[in-house]
Amino acid sequence: MEQSWPPSTSVALGLLVAAVLVAGAGSLVLSATGPDDPGVGTTPAKLVEPRPGENVFWPYTSTRRSASGRTLAINLVVYADAETVRYFLAERGDATWNETAAEWQDVGPDTGGDAVGAANSTVVEWAGARGATRYLYVHNYVLTQPGPNETRRPYRAAPFTGHLDPNPGGRWIDETYQLHDGNYFGARDHLRLYESPFESDEWVAVQAHSDHWDWFRLRHTVHATDETRDRLEAEFMGHPSVDTVWRMYLGNRRALGSDGWATVVDFVGLLGAPNLGSGLAAMGLVAGRDAAALARRRRRGSARADGVFAFGSGGAGSARANSSDLRTDPSNAITDPVGTARRALVSGLLARGWLDREGALLVVRGLSYASLFAALFCCYLSVRFGGLALEHRFTDISPKVIAAALYPVLALGLPALAHTFGRDLDPVRSFAVAALGIGAAIVVDYQSLGVTVLSLDVVLHRVGVVVAVGFLAAGAVSPRASTETVNPLVAAGTLLWVTLLLAPLVGWL
């Protein structure tokens, strides 16, 4: 089953793997940022009115100051100022949200695509990425043109369009701040909040979504939007400082996961006429908001000053091993630790008389397959849970450092374990066990994150991972084989593995 290849092939494969690792680590050290001042595009064609008589906005976020970078839909509007919303969500007594520090906002883009493909895509090409920043377009109400249904209808935002020629009536703004609830290297609910740049406006637009860290993509992948909006809606409803909670149709269903509706929250006592009880609650909210803002400003101010012993053939033939097969050569303990451990286990079972030779070989063969499964299963999950542990232990370091430390465990550890534990096993069984081990780990990983929906391209990528690891295990050769001999299965598995590592890093996924 072996085929002769020139020595340069092994070297080339090794260099290719090393290049992918360097590219992966480098993408973490250097942020995927673009120009300091992205070019301003034409006014987006569709604008909506968040509140009667106030300035309008484009109901999507964008990776650049242009409609061509459209990503997710705005799905929450709060009639209040940004500090009130911050206090309610992140600083009141029973708050669960945390403000996202700049270094923990993201390593790369979390979702997107161009204006045509955004509805079916979950990635942004690195060439077009603008880091973690997402922009919102806000336009002066006076300098807009009425849309086809200019009269505002109940629960439906009135549409407007801006002038096609460049004018000072509109501007692109970035997030006022970000909030999150969850783990950076796990799953989290994530909010981007935008306060209107016009002083006369009293509204905050929010883009709410759920995402998870993808260790192959080295960035976050959005897996839900409407569910996060519904969570926020439930959090506002019934609170004494909130007057009304209702939904308004913005017509932004083209974005990933959006149904086109946004929740609208109106705080009582801030913009409307309160009753006595709700007014006191609103006063408490404002007082707490102001105190928290003052404390935050003070904090900011202070912070500045061997292979003969084969198990794969099965049957009686595999049990015909002479005594030399069972001796442990000290040199093999380094070059083939798994094979050495197998032989030592068989020797121990025979020496104690617990099993005859055939029984001992059968037990060790079963343990070998179990070890292959366990090694791949545990390695894959160790990256996920290791990242979570390091995140909680080292809160003051950049997430790029943690990701750069654990990515080689995934990129090098899985193929190395598949090749090591798959040596001298039956190729078909080895492929099946390895594929089952890595496949089970992937399923458990997504279950632990609560992810139930994946895009087709991600599913196909993970199937490729299962096949590549299976090939590497099935083609594992004895360490006594010539260094100029490469099993075709190993070559295929290596090329597939490298491709699967490279594809997400350059935006092919």
What are residue 123's phi and psi, to 5 degrees? -135, 160
**pLDDT digit string, tens, across residues 366-397:** 788 999 999 999 999 999 999 999 999 998 88
Q: Please tell me which of 342-356, 412-426, 437-451 the model is most confident about, judged by mean pLDDT.
A: 437-451
CA distance 124 to 106: 13
Q: Has residue 303 got a pLDDT over 60?
A: no
Q: Please tell me which of 2-6, 11-15, 420-424 the model is most confident about, judged by mean pLDDT.
A: 420-424
Residues of the chain with pLDDT > 90, as a percent, come to: 39
User: CA distances (Å), 80 to each of 77, 149, 180, 292, in order?
Assistant: 9, 27, 20, 16
- Rounded average pLDDT over 184-190: 94
Q: Has residue 279 got a pLDDT over 70?
A: no
Short-list 119, 140, 128, CA closest to 66: 128
- Rounded average pLDDT over 119-137: 50
User: CA distances (Å), 308 to each of 225, 327, 346, 370, 479, in order?
Assistant: 56, 12, 14, 20, 10
193-197, 326-330, 418-422: least confidently modelled range: 326-330
pTM passes above 0.75: no
pLDDT: which is higher, 47 or 26: 47
**pLDDT digit string, tens, across residues 55-94:** 999 999 999 888 888 999 999 999 999 999 999 998 887 8
Average pLDDT value for the chain:
74
User: CA distances (Å), 263 to each of 75, 148, 282, 400, in order?
Assistant: 6, 23, 20, 34
The amino acid at residue 460 is L
pLDDT: which is higher, 481 or 193: 193
CA distance 300 to 290: 15
- H or E element, residue 192: strand 187-195
Q: Is the dihedral of CA 111, 114, 115, 120 positive or negative?
A: negative
- The residues near 351 (Cβ < 8 Å, ≥ 6 apart) are none
| CB contact at 8 A, 133 and 175 | yes
132: Cα separation from own chain's centroid: 13
CA distance 121 to 250: 21
- Rounded average pLDDT over 461-475: 94
